Amino acid sequence: MRPRPASSIHGPRFIPIRSFRGGPQSAPWAGCDNCLLLFTRIRPAMSPTASPLFLSTAQPDFQERFTERLHWSAEQDEAIEQRVKDILREVRARGDEAVLAFTARFDRLPAASMAALELQAADLRAAFESLPAAQRQALEQAAARIRRYHEWQKKQGGETASYRDEDGTLLGQKVTPLDRVGIYVPGGKAAYPSSVLMNAVPAHVAGVGEIIMVVPTPGGERNALVLAAAHVAGVSRAFTIGGAQAIAALAYGTACVPRVDKITGPGNAYVASAKKHVFGQVGIDMIAGPSEILVLADGTTPPDWVAMDLFSQAEHDELAQSILLAPDESYMRQVHEAMQRLLPALPRAAIIAKSLAGRGAFIHTRSMQEACEIANRIAPEHLEISSREPHRWEPLLRHAGAIFLGAYTSESLGDYCAGPNHVLPTSGTARFSSPLSVYDFQKRSSLIEVSEAGAQKLGRIASVLAHGEGLQAHARAAQMRLK
């Protein structure tokens, strides 16, 4: 990270401010080569301000500063790693006893038995019925759209199929759902009913036999929206446990918590580390990093809309990343001005301000084509094409978790109810990874049925190759079927 002056309550701060060719401006900017670096003496701000890093692809040091701003390490703190290993070992050895002890310690939720930590179907239904009508309807409508999309997705390649070649040999794939999956849902202050829907609904569509949900309830605090979402999504069983101990229980199984085949869902650093360590015992969806949004803007979308879209990911976490790429300097200034005006009214303004200051960026490009090239290098989690011609630029984009086309397609709609999954690859892994899907809850077995005529043709090919590899039994097995 580039060093930044430390603020102090005892005196003024000095913040570097850049200007346009036409002279000093009120916003930090680096939109041209011949900008003048100023140092302006200011008083400590009474309210958070939006201070992303301003870059231009025309700057000589753009590549260095761009790479520095993107950097985020997935490596865990050694103390966290060791603690997680200890928790996993304890749960694997002592089962429910260890889970109960860790739940009492970390979640301040003592319980005499695991039965006391299991939510019944009646609890989930009661939570649903306790909600205002508007929230019940929103959950049901979102679930229906998510289900419809994943049913469509399943038909595109998630079903058993086969064909026969010219000699009658059958070749194909047998698609079967996983028997049992576990979904982790953050709890406590964080309430993510959308994560319940996005994980459980595609598992249901895939045909998974049993869906086990774990959700921490610190101090016994249950979130009605999360439990209601579990009811709507059809979760089979639910336990009020969290952290690394919940991941261990799902991966290894205990007397009360059944062992699952795969674990999906977001969590904190302890959860991410635990998922990494149990991979191999079970499947996992991914190791997720901080949330990200990248907006490609041609200057035709209202600046307030773009500003709020950038806020929508910054409000998740101080490490979240919001980036604007645009070829229009004046438009970027308008977006920045909108940010300053809109930010103070948001409840999570302090988090947004820290996110933008630490990892946010406004990048002035020479063209929309160049903006697309940079977007591919970033491979963001969420990519908005905020343009009147989104379909002109979409073919140029190769790497993104989800692509949102047009000014009316705010990323937040994808988070909740558009239909495609909101569990997306982060930290550049969209270069080789895909969103959570119905396929993550299925597995494929190859189908091969060789006809007598096919054995004559394939046997000779296999025999030659097997001899070449020095595997005589392979060759003989093929030759024995030759006439």
User: Is residue 118 annotated as part of the catalytic site, yes or no?
Assistant: no
How far is 217 from 126, CA to CA, in rounded Å? 17
- Which of 336, 382, 399, 422 is catalytic? The answer is 382
Tell me which of 90, 315, 329, 381 is the catalytic residue: 381
- How far, in Å, CA of 164 to CA of 151, rounded? 27
Nearest-angstrom CA–CA distance, 81 and 375: 33
Q: How far apart are CA 113 and CA 136, in angstroms?
A: 32
Query: Known catalytic residue: 381?
Result: yes
Place of tokens 């994808």: 414
3-class SS string, the chain? CCCCCCCCCCCCEEEEEECECCECCCCCCCCCCCCCEEEEEECCCCCCCCCCEEEECCCCCHHHHHHHHHCCCCCCCHHHHHHHHHHHHHHHHHCHHHHHHHHHHHCCCCCCCHHHHEECHHHHHHHHHCCCHHHHHHHHHHHHHHHHHHHHHHHCCCCCEEEECCCCCEEEEEEEECCEEEEECCCCCCCCHHHHHHHHHHHHHHCCCEEEEECCCHHHCCCHHHHHHHHHHCCCEEECCCHHHHHHHHHHCCCCCCCCCEEECCCCHHHHHHHHHHECCEEECCCCCCCEEEEEECCCCCHHHHHHHHHHHHCCCCCCEEEEEECCHHHHHHHHHHHHHHHHHCCCHHHHHHHHHHHCEEEECCCHHHHHHHHHHHCCCEEEEECCCHHHHHHHCCCCCEEEECCCCCHHHHHHCCCCCCCCCCCCHHHCCCCCCHHHHEEEEEEEECCHHHHHHHHHHHHHHHHHHCCHHHHHHHHCCCC
Hey, which residues does 211 pair with through a beta bridge?
181
| Residues recognised as catalytic | 381-382
